[in-house]
Chains A and B, each alone.
Chain A
Amino acid sequence: MTQDAMIDEWYPVGLFSQLDMNGHRTALMGEPIDVALDAEGNAKVTSGDGHTLPVCVRYGHVWSSLGKPRKELFAIPEADQPGRRFVDVGVVRVRCSPLRAVENFLDIAHFPFVHTDILGAEPHTEVLDYKVEIRQDKDEVWATQVKFYQPQAAKSASGGITTEYMYRVPAPTCSVLYKTCPPRPGEWDVITLFVQPLAEDLCNVWPWMALFDDVTPMTDLIHFQQTIFLQDRSILENQIPRLLPLDPGMEIPTRADLTSVAYRRWLKRHNYIYGAQLVAQ
């Protein structure tokens, strides 16, 4: 099942700051790989049969691929903006499809029920219309003008605010979220979800953030994001089927799910089907 278009994509395989010469054994799409530092201090990724795999180090993480990436890793221009703090949130393993993990990240309607009193709360459950498009120039899914009432939108937020979101899917298992930045109106906080597909129904999730927040201690920022993601984890491990259904009929979307609808269509069009289910079973 690895012979789909996803084989040539970049995937996160570790935090660069945690690499050492001993390295660690992990996996990519069912293949064992080793991630380590070489004698010059560069990241090195080796396949189970000893072949050197492509490597790049970006956004705090080591990225690799089992295939031949046809382009560089997607750009996050904000990551080069001065004044931002970069937060390595660390890995969390989830027994779910890597695509389900991304789809959940693109969803806001679950906030009042899963992230209660943090990212959402009843009675503020309504999802207002927003815009979704596939940007042809970069071939990315974008959702913009997503607005939602949040009791505690960020560690730096005090009290409830209506937060504005923009979502971007630049790669099949990665998403970048731009979010209202409480301490600096006019700027966007960047929160990402980088997903390493271990198998079709198992993934390592590496959240990462680039924030304007000079006040909050780093550990608090990490814990805030870990809290959010661990609230999602128990949902993700209990969805049936584990694989993401790409054909309509198996699951019922509403207007609030337009980002997910676009994401699924985009995956199907590109034959990004590792972790997907094509026929209703």
Chain B
Amino acid sequence: MPARTPAGPIALWRSQSGRAAASADRCPHRGMRLSHGFVRGEALSCIYHGWSYARTGNCLRIPAHPGLTPPETIRVATQQVKESDGVIWVAVGEPAVEPPRLEGVVPLRSLTAHASVAAVEAATDALVWQAQTSRKIRLLLVPQEDDQTLIHVLVDDNSSPSERIAASRAAETLRRLAEDLQTKGIA
């Protein structure tokens, strides 16, 4: 799936053995976005010509030339990926520390707001959380391009399904408010 880090767009994918990987979202052959591609075994293939890449970024296969071992020089940039507490973290460069632990909460959903991080934070402050969402909701905010924000929503790991649905709806309300603030130029 497509994602974004400060180093640019990435294709985030999980190999058949279950390992997550992050590759630059552009096949060096013809510039096609790799997030449109497909995963077979431990490789990500481009949808355009089927060139496939390992988790480490080197090109494994060029279907137009089945006899050819692709030279080492054909590769996509990759980034380090860590999975912890149900959240996938991608590091730009060499991370000095492990991702923070998120104990007692589980990821609920991710949604994109057409509002800056500041606007989402302002909306969080302004929003009176409804009574049914008395349980903790944690947000991880990631700035995207064009003044958008990716909001990862986490809830108490002992919340019931109906509480989780309520939290999902609360996140929608938060987004509406943040976008409203953004439009009005308040944040």
Nearest A residue to B71 by beta-carbon distance?
A: A252
Evaluate whether A240 and B50 lie within 8 angstroms (CB atoms) in the complex, with A126-B65, A126-B66, A252-B74 already known: no
**Are A235 and B32 neighbours in the complex by a CB distance under 8 Å?**
yes
**Residue numbers in A under 8 Å from B30 (CB-CB):** 239, 251
Which residues of the partner chain B approach A245 to less than 8 Å between Cβ atoms? 31
Partner of A127, one of B28, B33, B48, B64: B64
Q: Assuming A126-B65, A255-B65, A256-B65, is B31 touching A113 (CB within 8 A)?
A: no
Contacts A110-B49, A113-B48; A256 near B32 (Cβ below 8 A): no
List chain B residues, Cβ under 8 A from A125: 50, 63-64, 66
Whether, in the assembled complex, A83 has its beta carbon less than 8 Å from a beta carbon of chain B, the answer is: no
Instruction: State whether the Cβ of B20 lies closer than 8 Å to any Cβ in chain A.
Output: no
Within 8 A of A (CB), among B16-74: 25-26, 28-33, 36, 46-50, 62-66, 68, 74
Contact of B31 among A109, A110, A126, A240 (CB under 8 A): A240
B contact residues, total (Cβ < 8 Å): 21
Q: In whole Å, how far is A245's beta carbon from the nearest beta carbon of chain B?
A: 8
**Contacting residues, chain B, for A126 (C-beta < 8 A):** 63-66
Q: Are B62 and A254 in contact, with the CB atoms below 8 A?
A: yes
* B155 vs chain A, min Cβ distance (A): 34
Question: How far is the CB of B43 from the nearest CB of chain A, in Å?
Answer: 14
Interface residues of A in 225-281 (CB under 8 A from B): 234-235, 238-241, 245, 250-256
Q: Are B65 and A112 in contact (CB under 8 A)?
A: no
Taking CB atoms, residues of chain A closer than 8 Å to B63 are 109, 112-113, 122, 125-126
State whether the Cβ of A114 lies closer than 8 Å to any Cβ in chain B. Answer: yes
CA A113 to CA B46, docked complex, whole Å = 9
Beta-carbon contact of B32 and A127 below 8 Å: no
Q: Which residues 63-103 in B have Cβ within 8 Å of A in the complex?
A: 63-66, 68, 74
A238 to B32, CA, bound (A): 6
Chain B residues with Cβ under 8 A from A110's Cβ? 48-49
Q: Point out the residues of chain A lying under 8 angstroms from B25, CB to CB.
A: 240
Contact across chains for B47 and A113 when beta carbons are under 8 A apart: yes
Question: How many whole Å from A17's CB to the nearest CB in chain B?
Answer: 34
Q: Are A251 and B47 in contact (CB under 8 A)?
A: no
Given A109-B49, A110-B48, A240-B26: A254 touches B31 (CB 8 Å cut-off) = no
Determine the chain B residues whose CB is within 8 A of the CB of A235 once the complex forms.
32, 47-48
Given A114-B47, A240-B26, A252-B28, 5 new contacts (CB under 8 A): A113-B46, A113-B47, A235-B47, A245-B31, A256-B65
